[in-house]
Amino acid sequence: MDKLVQLYDLDFAELTAFVQTLGERPFRAKQLWQWLYEKYAASFDEMTNLPKGLREKLAQTAVLNPATIAAEQRSSDGQTEKVLFRLPDGQLIETVLMGYEDGRRTLCISTQAGCAMGCVFCATGQMGFARNLTAGEIVAQVLYFAHKLAPQGERVSNIVMMGMGEPLHNYRETLTAVDRLTDPTGLNLSARKITISTVGLVPAIRRYADEQRQTPLAISLHAATDEERNKLIPINKRWPIAELMEACRYYLAKNGRRLTFEWALIAYKNDTPEQAQALGKLLQGMLCHVNLIPLNPTEGYSGGPSSRERVQAFQDELARYGVSSTVRVRRGIDIQAGCGQLRDRVLASKQY
């Protein structure tokens, strides 16, 4: 049997060509596209305005969501839900839905199975790299939750590409997925509601700046000196802080949009007054904001989250340099919501 076509991997022109190979007229592609991206169909049987014969052909030659659910958990506060998806080749990826009182429904999605960056405090970094996800596999995570939220009158409002993997290491597929998710004829999500996070792949940041994209960029910094960052973020040895900051300034000059710097606060390691001062000096005068995140502990790393007092002291020190910051509320601690943690737990317990 020929390999099944993954429909989420196709853009509209490719979908039109595929429908024609099935002996159908091109207008059927528009109907199919609407079922995929406007009505969030989870099966071909739901596509009631398509002829039964076409639905049967699609069932024989194509698939919608290429992933199946391997495990899922919901936090005790009822606001955070995590799904572990199993891909056709057996790889496992995670997606987290976070609900907020103001009505936002934010998804944290994966762009790779595993990660090659090796950040020491990250469960995904500890597991190593398996492969890049296709654009369709990235999009499928969003559409799964779009389908789930729709009956409640809700929709995905924001997306952060901060799950498993380094998005800019999978540049083409990640940005193809962004284009699909922001397509006015598709999910029609605002580009500014999608945030792409990177640990600092300098050439990719410059390429991203040159493309003048609307999607916000977040830099996972976590240390303000090379000596400390080398211990946490191995890629810093390839592109040290000076080169990274030069790329950040290039991005700002090209786009004029505020950068976010992510900082996982690790008790007595990068939450010291010295690191706060170094960060303040590094970012002083830059159009940016710092997102402070008390560490979500992992079994493979001994560090723990900073206390409330140390977080406040760090934030106060940044303010002395005119650097704005906020403290992100830790979500889903009871369900291992940090990227890679549910996968590790499932494998360890032999649920998979």
- Which is the catalytic residue, given 94, 137, 173, 262? 94
Residues 193 and 306 in one domain: yes
Distance CA 113, CA 92 (A): 7
Tell me which of 23, 39, 63 is where a domain ends: 63
pLDDT over 80 (residue 340): no
CATH number of the structural domain spanning residue 34:
1.10.150.530
Of the given ranges (65-74, 178-187, 306-315, 335-344), which has the lowest mean pLDDT? 335-344
Tell me which of 63, 79, 103 is where a domain ends: 63
Distance CA 344, CA 225 (A): 31
Strand ranges, E, within the chain: 5-6, 62-63, 68-74, 80-86, 92-99, 105-108, 112-114, 129-132, 158-161, 194-198, 217-220, 259-265, 288-294, 325-327
With beta carbons less than 8 A apart as the criterion, state whether 200 and 239 touch: yes
pLDDT at residue 16, rounded to an integer: 98
Active site residue 339: yes
Residue 172: phi and psi, rounded to 5, are -60, -50
Residues 53 and 173 in one domain: no
CATH number of the structural domain spanning residue 231:
3.20.20.70
Identify the CA nearest to 338 among candidates 298, 301, 307.
298
Q: How far is CA 216 from CA 142, 144, 172, in A?
A: 18, 23, 17
Q: How far is CA 15 from CA 20, 29, 140, 249, in A?
A: 9, 6, 16, 40
Helix H or strand E encompassing 174: helix 171-182
Residues 73 and 51 in one domain: no
Active site residue 119: no
What the block records as the tokens of 104 is: 């936002």
CA 68 to chain centre: 19
Residues 120 and 95 in one domain: yes
DSSP strand pairing (194-198 vs 105-108): unpaired
pLDDT at residue 255, rounded to an integer: 92
Tell me which of 39, 63, 87 is where a domain ends: 63
Helix H or strand E encompassing 338: none
- Which is the catalytic residue, given 122, 248, 288, 339? 339
What the block records as the tokens of 278 is: 């170094």
Q: How many C-alpha atoms does 131 have within 13 Å on its Cβ side? A: 11
Q: Name the 3-class secondary structure at 108.
A: strand
pLDDT over 50 (residue 348): no
Residues 148 and 204 in one domain: yes
Give the mean model confidence (pLDDT) for residues 148-152: 94
pLDDT over 90 (residue 171): yes
With beta carbons less than 8 A apart as the criterion, state whether 186 and 12 touch: no
Q: Range of 110's domain?
A: 68-348
Residues 133 and 197 in one domain: yes
Q: 210-266: per-residue pLDDT in tens? A: 999 999 999 999 999 999 999 999 999 999 999 999 999 999 999 999 999 999 999
